[in-house]
Copies of this chain bind each other. A is one copy, B any other.
Amino acid sequence: MSELKVVIHVNDPDRWKKALGNIRNLIKDVGEGKADIVALANGSAVTAFGNTELIEAMKTLAEQGVHFIACRNSLKNMCAEGVICLSENERPSFVVVTPAGITELVKRQHQGYAYVKP
């Protein structure tokens, strides 16, 4: 079990760069596998799962054990609003979908995860 546990909350696509930088710095500082890192996206931040450049950067981190989670409500909203539709086939395979991102954020903290909003 990792000593350090954190959920990184991203709800704005412009914040992914900071968030991924934070995650890279955390892994570099404590060592691969030494922190349990969850990146939780809701709101328009889920559009990043359709952005080739960001997906490449995320994939490298996913291979180092970082968990990427997307809010289903947000995926539905982005599709309904005509922004982007990311069905299961169109999302990177490392992305896990949770019914409500907000519930995940609360539950993770109750499980001892720290919360950081980049």
Chain A residues close to B by CB (< 8 Å): 3-6, 9, 11, 18, 21-23, 25-26, 28-30, 35, 42-43, 71, 73, 99-103, 105-107, 109-110, 112, 114-118
Determine whether the beta carbon of B117 is less than 8 Å from that of A4: no
Copies of this chain:
3
The 10 closest A-B pairs by CB, nearest first: A109-B114, A29-B100, A106-B114, A22-B102, A26-B102, A6-B106, A25-B100, A29-B103, A117-B117, A4-B106
User: Closest CB of chain B to A72's CB: distance in Å?
Assistant: 10
- Tell me which residues across on chain B come within 8 A of A26, comparing CB atoms: 100, 102-103, 106
A117's partner among B5, B9, B99 (CB-CB below 8 A) is: B9
Query: Could you tell me the distance between the alpha carbons of A26 and B107 in the complex, rounded to whole angstroms?
Result: 11
Determine whether the beta carbon of B28 is less than 8 Å from that of A100: yes
A103's partner among B4, B99, B103 (CB-CB below 8 A) is: B4
